Each structure stands twice: as structure tokens, then as C-alpha cells.
């Protein structure tokens, strides 16, 4: 059923916008995920085109497995960067991909357990005060990346970024245009503020700082690469399957597998953010087990094709929150564009020319929107911060998560599995929130006054 955007507050996941609007809305999601999705393969020395292809395929499978009820886009996961580099340096990329394959299997195993056990236990472990704090962490912990892109010269060494007033200028223009489009534009333009901001920011950069845009790479790129030529040039499938037949490679690959236990916390956090944005219980319908299964299958497919493991993307959740367009058709369109762009050399090369300050301008809004969803949850559940218990839990989760508190086991030498394991800040904040809620007395206040009001109604 087609819906007119200007006549509704939102477009639901099963609805389809007008045909002429699908492409720009899908392109907006593609732009939102592009910077981070291509950054991971660049850092891990994997292929950017394969990353685009596997993110598109993974997203399509995710939508299918979740029965089209979860409008999440899956892009490259940052959590696997360190382990992939470690294993690739000593054992090769094929072995690293076997490790990613095992991580995907862990997702499927946990999905099976959740299917059998249900999600009531999760509701007890993650009350609103913990969930809201984690949601804020997911948004604000990424703020350093957004601000770094907005402040630093895109041509400087990423290891030693150099401050640039020009970068601030471009980021400010992009940010200002995004805000203006979000608040003041009407009709269709009001639902593509990210795309509008990036187009204006790119054009402004071309006029003011053309040296930041390398169009020579676009000119030298081919228009279209046949699937056979593309596979020969980009795939490392042969190396991956060779590693599958090596017992030594399996042992080395086990180093990467535990990372899945860390990214599971991030996955649950993103599902909770999406549920908060859409105002429905996605843990039960389509269910956490389906979302975990979809993510796991996407990770497995990526590993077999030589792409980085995938994860649901906060940037695209931010787009959902701003536009209030949850249509799965738009997410499917973005996934198809990613697959198409992987084979069209000039388009892929052009997207790579988007300057980091432009990405910084829009991600300031996107990541901030995610954090705002956490604050909204505090308000809606009437979390009482006069209660010391709520104050302590939220304070610890927020500071450890935003501050980058993590556990890196590189000093442990007796076990290669633990030695290469890092529990990142989001996972640490989640674990601390769960533990504090479990051990501190007075658990009922963590669920907010709304839950208590509903309980009193049932009793009366």
C-alpha cells in the first residue's frame, strides 16, 4: 500500500513510499552507512567492494529472516578489527575469515538458546534504567568518531590527525544544512535531511577545498565489472576454503570466535534502540532469536566471501529516528544499491571521495539522535533519579561507556584465546549495568514509575 509521506507521522515497516521516493530514501541510508562500512576493510586490508557486496547481501538476508519486521541495515563491524589484523598477520586472511565464520556460528547458537528460553529473563536483566543508559552509550560513545571527522584534515595521517579549521567549516555547513532540512523543510525534502546535508556539504567542499576530492580515482575506475572479472579480482574465497581444510587454521581461528560474545551486547543494544524508535516490542516480534539469527547468517556469508563481519548500524537507526520512515522497502533498496555499487567501479570510487568532514557533520546528528532516544526512555518510563540506585547505575554505565572503559587481555600469555580478546566499552558498560542491577537491593525502582503504575492497576 502506498502512503503519502505528508499525511502521516510515519511510514510503517510493511508500507511502501511512493515509487519516485524510494531511490533517494534508500540512497540516504547507503550514505549513512558508507563511511564506517568501507573504513573497516581499509583498516583490516580486506576488499572494500567485497564489504559493500556482503553488507548488501547480509542486510537482505537479515530482513528475510526477521520476516521484514526489522528495518535495520547491516554494515562492517569495528569489534573484529583487532582480531582480524592479528590472525591475518600470522596465519593469513583465509584463517581470519574462518574465525569470523565461527563467530557467526556462536550467534546462531545463542539465537537457538533464546528461542528455547524466551526473552523474559532479558527483561529482568535489563530494566529501563539500564537499557536507557546503554542506548545513550551507543550514541555518545561514537561521538569521538564524528567529532574527529569534523575537526581533522582529511588528507592528514589517520594515525596523527591534524586539526583543520577548513574541516570544521565544512562539517558546520553540512550539519547546518541537515538541521535546516530536518526542522524547516516540508514534504519529501523533510525526510531526506541526511542526503540533503551530504549533497550540500560535498558541493561546498568542491568549491572551497577541491584538493580534498580525488576525482582522478573516479576517472580511472571502470564503469562496470563483470561478475567473473570481479570475483577474480576481489574474492579470497579460495584462500578461505583452503583454511577450512587446515586443522592449524581452525585452532588459530578460534582466537576470533569469542568476539561474538562481545558483539552480542551491541546487537541487543541496537535492537532495543530500534524498538524504542519504532515504539514496539521487537524483542518478542519478530523476536531476538530472529535478529540474532539474521546477524549470524550475515556474518557467516561475509566470512565465506572474504568480507568483514557485519552488525546492525547505529547510523541507520539514527536515520529511522529522524525520518520516521521504517519501510523495509527502503532498507532493501539500500542493500540492493550497495550490491550494485560493488560492481560499478565509478560509483564506488565516487563514494570513496566523500570527505570525512562531510561525514562528520551528518554523524554528529545521527549519533546524537541515538543518545536522545535513551533520554526519551528515561522520561517515558518516569525513571526516578532521586533514587540513589538509579543514579549509581546510570552514572557508572554512562561514564564507562562514553569514556571508553574496556578490558584488553593482551598481557595474558598463557592462553592465545584470551590474549587476543578485547571487551569493548559498550559491552563493558552493558555488563556493569546488568551486574549492578542484579546485586543492588530495591530492584523495583529500576523499572520506573510507569511499570509500578501498571502493576498497581492490575492489583486494583
DSSP string, 297-352: HHHHHHHHHT---EEE-HHHHHHHHHH-B--HHHHHHHHHHHHHHHH-HHHHHHHH
Q: What is the pLDDT of residues 11-70, one digit of tens each?
A: 999 999 888 889 999 999 988 887 778 778 876 778 888 889 999 999 999 999 999 999
User: Rounded distance, CA 305 to CA 20, Å?
Assistant: 33
User: Rounded distance, CA 437 to CA 129, Å?
Assistant: 9
Interval 103-131 mean pLDDT? 87
Beta carbons of 77 and 40 less than 8 angstroms apart: yes
Question: Which is more confident, 118 or 336?
Answer: 336
What is the average pLDDT value for the chain, to the nearest integer?
83
Q: What is the band of 460 on the pLDDT scale with cuts at 50, 70, 90?
A: very low
Beta-bridge partners for 408: 422
Over pLDDT 90: what percentage of the chain?
Answer: 31
pLDDT at 97: 87
Range with lowest mean pLDDT among 94-98, 143-147, 228-232, 241-245: 228-232
pLDDT at 380: 84
pLDDT at 422: 60
Interval 296-325 mean pLDDT? 89
User: Rounded distance, CA 73 to CA 58, Å?
Assistant: 9
User: Rounded distance, CA 357 to CA 212, Å?
Assistant: 10
Beta carbons of 351 and 341 less than 8 angstroms apart: yes
pLDDT at 79: 74
The enclosing H or E element of 32 equals helix 19-44
* pLDDT at residue 112 is higher than 50: yes
Q: What is the pLDDT of residues 169-204, one digit of tens each?
A: 999 999 999 899 888 887 777 778 888 888 899 999
Q: What is the band of 2 on the pLDDT scale with cuts at 50, 70, 90?
A: very low
* pLDDT at residue 6 is higher than 50: no
Question: Which is more confident, 351 or 310?
Answer: 310
Q: What is the pLDDT of residues 268-290, one digit of tens each?
A: 888 988 998 898 889 889 999 99
* pLDDT at residue 415 is higher than 70: no
Q: What is the band of 332 on the pLDDT scale with cuts at 50, 70, 90?
A: very high
Which residues, including other chains, have CB under 8 Å from residue 407's CB and lie 6 or more apart? 422, 423, 428
Interval 105-122 mean pLDDT? 88
pLDDT at 158: 75
pTM for this model (two decimals): 0.75
Q: What is the band of 4 on the pLDDT scale with cuts at 50, 70, 90?
A: very low
Cα 261 to Cα 105, 106, 253, 296, distances in angstroms: 11, 8, 15, 12
* pLDDT at residue 408 is higher than 90: no
Amino acid at each position: 500500500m502506498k502512503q503519502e509521506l505528508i499525511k502521516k507521522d510515519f511510514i510503517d515497516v510493511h508500507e511502501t513510499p511512493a515509487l519516485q521516493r524510494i531511490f533517494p530514501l534508500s540512497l540516504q541510508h547507503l550514505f549513512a552507512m558508507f563511511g564506517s562500512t568501507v573504513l573497516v576493510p581499509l583498516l583490516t586490508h580486506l576488499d572494500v567492494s567485497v564489504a559493500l557486496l556482503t553488507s548488501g547481501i547480509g542486510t537482505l538476508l537479515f530482513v528475510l529472516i526477521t520476516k521484514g519486521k526489522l528495518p535495520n541495515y547491516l554494515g562492517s563491524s569495528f569489534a573484529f578489527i583487532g582480531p582480524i589484523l592479528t590472525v591475518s598477520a600470522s596465519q593469513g586472511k583465509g584463517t581470519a575469515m574462518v574465525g569470523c565464520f565461527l563467530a557467526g556460528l556462536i550467534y546462531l547458537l545463542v539465537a537457538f538458546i533464546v528461542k528455547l528460553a524466551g526473552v523474559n529473563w532479558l527483561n529482568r536483566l535489563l530494566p529501563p534504567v539500564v537499557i536507557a543508559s546503554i542506548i545513550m552509550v551507543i550514541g555518545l560513545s561514537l561521538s569521538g568518531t564524528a567529532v574527529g571527522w569534523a575537526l581533522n584534515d582529511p588528507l592528514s595521517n589517520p594515525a596523527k590527525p591534524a586539526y583543520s579549521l577548513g574541516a570544521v567549516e565544512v562539517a558546520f555547513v553540512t550539519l547546518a544544512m541537515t538541521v535546516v532540512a530536518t526542522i524547516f523543510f516540508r514534504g519529501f525534502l523533510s525526510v531526506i535531511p541526511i542526503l540533503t546535508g551530504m549533497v550540500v556539504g560535498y558541493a561546498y567542499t568542491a568549491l572551497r577545498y577541491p584538493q580534498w576530492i580525488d576525482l582522478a580515482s573516479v576517472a580511472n575506475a571502470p564503469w562496470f565489472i563483470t561478475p567473473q572479472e570481479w570475483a577474480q579480482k576481489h574474492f579470497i574465497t579460495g584462500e578461505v576454503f583452503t583454511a577450512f581444510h587446515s586443522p592449524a587454521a581452525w585452532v588459530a581461528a578460534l582466537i576470533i570466535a569469542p568476539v561474538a560474545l562481545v558483539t552480542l551486547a551491541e546487537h541487543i543494544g541496537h535492537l532495543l534502540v530500534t524498538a524504542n524508535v519504532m515504539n514496539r516490542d521487537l524483542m518478542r516480534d519478530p523476536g531476538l532469536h530472529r535478529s540474532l539469527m539474521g546477524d549470524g547468517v550475515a556474518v557467516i556469508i561475509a566470512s565465506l566471501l572474504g568480507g568483514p563481519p557485519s552488525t546492525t548500524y547505529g547510523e541507520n537507526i539514527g536515520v529511522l529516528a529522524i525520518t520516521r520512515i521504517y519501510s523495509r522497502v527502503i532498507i532493501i533498496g539500500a542493500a540492493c544499491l550497495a550490491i550494485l555499487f560493488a560492481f560499478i567501479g565509478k560509483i564506488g570510487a565516487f563514494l570513496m571521495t566523500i570527505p570525512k568532514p562531510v561525514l562528520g557533520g551528518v554523524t554528529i546528528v545521527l549519533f546524537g539522535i541515538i543518545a536522545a532516544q535513551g533520554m526519551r526512555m528515561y522520561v517515558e518510563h518516569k525513571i526516578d533519579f532521586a533514587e540513589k540506585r538509579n543514579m549509581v547505575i546510570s552514572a557508572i554505565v554512562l561514564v564507562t561507556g562514553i569514556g571508553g572503559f574496556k578490558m584488553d587481555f593482551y598481557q595474558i600469555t598463557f592462553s592465545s584465546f584470551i590474549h587476543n580478546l578485547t571487551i569493548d566499552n559498550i559491552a563493558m558498560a552493558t555488563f556493569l549495568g546488568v551486574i549492578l542491577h542484579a546485586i543492588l537491593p530495591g530492584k523495583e525502582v529500576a523499572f520506573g514509575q510507569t511499570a509500578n503504575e501498571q502493576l498497581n492497576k492490575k492489583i486494583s
